[in-house]
Amino acid sequence: ILVQCAWGITRTKGCWLSGKFQELAKRRSQKKALIAIARKLLVIIWHVLSKHEKYKEYEPKLNPQQKAKKIARLEKQLLELQA
């Protein structure tokens, strides 16, 4: 059942786990990436149930250098799309 839930997560736009799946699928096969996402889902479920906390979507925190690098990369992509 967890693998089926993981497939659903991978199809969701804007979800951190779907992005993680895409990263893993590039380096490994899709099946291995799917199992990794199912495991992450199980860990999330365990933490939510054991600590009685609400689930919070992971948001990476970037330092100023990382932000500047990301902005420069996105600006470059934008210029390429406009050309």
pLDDT tens digit string along 50-62? 998 888 877 777 7
Which DSSP string corresponds to 10-44? HT-TT-HHHHHHHHHHHHS-HHHHHHHHHHHHHHH
Instruction: Answer yes or no: is pLDDT of 14 > 90.
Output: no
pTM for the structure as a whole: 0.69
Tokens standing for 81?
A: 């799309």
pLDDT tens digit string along 15-41? 888 988 999 999 999 999 999 999 999
**35: amino acid identity, one letter:** I
Q: Which residue has the higher pLDDT, 67 or 72?
A: 72
